Structure 1
Amino acid sequence: MEQLGFDFGVEPRPLIRVTPAKLALYDDCPRRYRMTYLDRPTPTRTGPWAHNTMGAVVHNALRELFDLPAAERTPERAASLVGKHWRSAGFADSVQVARYSEAARRWVADYVEAGGADVDVVAVERWVSATTGSDPAAPSLIVEGRIDRVDRRDAELVVVDYKTGRRPPENTDAQRSRALALYAVAARRTLRAPCSRVELHHLPTGTVAAAEHTAETLREHVREAEEIATASHTATDRLRQGGDPDRLFPARPAPRCAWCELRPSCPEGREAAPSARPWDLLAPMA
């Protein structure tokens, strides 16, 4: 008697697990990606950067603030949370620390006073995940990451990302942001609600840059993410098989090498740009 069986044809491809941060790092500079995620022991790095310290302080303060009931989200409470989470790593001296500590308190207090107190917050620092790909019938990626904040407006979700850097974002920045688009895709799946609007909230200036995604623009971001993920995954596999690390993960020298934390371990990066001071990327004082 002939045995019955199943023939499913080609074996399905394994899903590639990615985060927006990893995709951005590989897209910017494959060598930096390799040094960050693959090289062991970890290559020598620079010391702390003040703009990263400032960003972490503000994010931590707002995370705690928006975990509170709306009635307790006062400007005074916001400012006090900056003090609670304050760190001084990377700043030039005590004078600069004092100036930026006060500035950060003012930024978050103004942010709350301008309308942050009564927003309908669904999630804060929420880990989201979604299986996706350019072909809905054959997903290729598990996209995941931690969103600063997710709000509800009417029946839809809005992805909110805080920024504290030198340049206020524009609406085109929100539209082009692969991270925000992938967060919208993952938020839809994780929180089970429509999500097409993404926003960049720049604390130093109070700027809100926003974009409304369509199904087509989200598909395009997913397609680009798939290409980058496939390239990084292939290079990683070849490296583990004994491939040349510098050919598989080449450096991409650019002006940003001035503040790359891995420049002590990258000759091309050191040649590309003079080293920035640890406080050079702080937002200008008003």
Structure 2
Amino acid sequence: MPKPLRMVTPAKLDSFDSCPRRFRYTYIDRPAPPRGAPWAHTGIGAAVHNALRDLWELDVAERTGESAARLLRRQWPDVGFRDEQQRERAREISASWLARYVDEHLDPEHEPRGIERTVGAPYGDLSISGRIDRVDEHEVDGARSLVVIDYKTGRVPPTEDDTRSSMQLALYAVAVERTLRAPCERVELHHIPTSTISAAQIGRDTRERQLRRAGYTADDIDQAKERLLHGDPPDEAYPARPSPACGWCDFWAHCAEGRQAARKRDPWFAVPGEGSRDQAYAG
């Protein structure tokens, strides 16, 4: 009998590459360890993504920055903030980001090929699938060409190198081309806080390299699981990769290495409007 395909997503592969210990807590341990308090910036990111999704359901004339800001306010999160004053201030700052981005970069009459579209493709014994924020379609030299668009709301705008070296975006490009049956060699990261776009061309060589990297990571995931099944201590099968990012890990309280690497951040540490550290948001 042929071996079953190994199901992977870019998010899971990236999670393991970042920290196998966190991957274990998220995907392997059942019941999973209790997470810390909800992060305000996580809710903000979700609200921005949802507003951009819902905007395309409006009539063409209503796809404006003002409408996007209104949609954001309707679903603004209420957890993770220090107090109501901080929550309201962050909401208005984020609404201004979104309105500027929509007015500067969104063509209301150019319908996307996909919004939060699930796509997939095989590679060897891998079955790769993922959900993409937006897929645009353009005409290049008389032929259709697709563009993968991923929204970002982090404090630091991504660079062209970030875009070009992203395994996640390369896998999305492969999956989009396979699912929608049209060439896809351009990927873009849209940084909403600064209304900037980082784009890169993902050629065949880059895709093949990133696909091989995905295969190696999938092998590492399987090997970690085998070590666990053969009796290795869980923390050895899934070692931590300490970094400053440990300070905002959901499982900080359960990881000795993470607690040594960074102090625990407050749930609102990345909320826009918090003094000088917010300059990256202000753009």
Instruction: Confirm or deny a common fold (TM above 0.5).
Output: yes
User: Which among 78, 85, 92 is matched to residue 102 of structure 1?
Assistant: 92
For 2:203 and 2:271, the matched residues in 1 are separated by 34
8 Å contact 1:165–1:282 — kept in the other structure?
Answer: no
Q: Does 1:30 align with 2:20?
A: yes
Q: Which residue of 1 aligns with 2:241?
A: 252
Q: Which residue of 1 aligns with 2:165?
A: 176
Q: Which residue of 1 aligns with 2:258?
A: 269
Q: Which residue of 2 aligns with 1:113?
A: 103
Mind listing any 5+ residue stretches in structure 2 that lack a counterpart? Answer: 273-277
Structure 2 counterparts to residues 1-286 of structure 1, below 5 A? 12-116=2-106, 117-132=108-123, 139-154=124-139, 155-283=144-272, 284=278, 285-286=281-282
8 Å contact 1:45–1:265 — kept in the other structure?
Answer: no
User: In the TM superposition, what is the alpha-carbon distance from 1:17 to its structure 2 partner?
Assistant: 0.8
For 1:67 and 1:218, the matched residues in 2 are separated by 33
User: In the TM superposition, what is the alpha-carbon distance from 1:279 to its structure 2 partner?
Assistant: 1.9
Percent sequence identity is 49
For 1:242 and 1:67, the matched residues in 2 are separated by 52
For 1:79 and 1:62, the matched residues in 2 are separated by 10
For 2:212 and 2:222, the matched residues in 1 are separated by 15
8 Å contact 1:126–1:147 — kept in the other structure?
Answer: yes
Q: Could you tell me the TM-score, scaled by structure 1's length? A: 0.90
8 Å contact 1:120–1:153 — kept in the other structure?
Answer: no
Q: Could you tell me the TM-score, scaled by structure 2's length? A: 0.91
The 3-state SS of whatever aligns with 2:133 is strand
Higher CA-based Rg: 1
User: In the TM superposition, what is the alpha-carbon distance from 1:153 to its structure 2 partner?
Assistant: 1.2
CA deviation vs aligned residue, 1:170-218 (integer Å, no higher than 9, x gap): 1111111111111111111111111010000011100100010100001
User: In the TM superposition, what is the alpha-carbon distance from 1:72 to its structure 2 partner?
Assistant: 2.8
For 2:110 and 2:93, the matched residues in 1 are separated by 23
RMSD: 1.5
Mind listing any 5+ residue stretches in structure 1 that lack a counterpart? Answer: 1-10, 133-138
Relative to structure 1, is the Cα distance of residues 26 and 129 closer, same or farther in structure 2, using a 3 angstrom cutoff? Answer: same
For 2:151 and 2:105, the matched residues in 1 are separated by 15
User: Which letter maps to 1:62?
Assistant: L
Count of residues paired in the alignment: 270
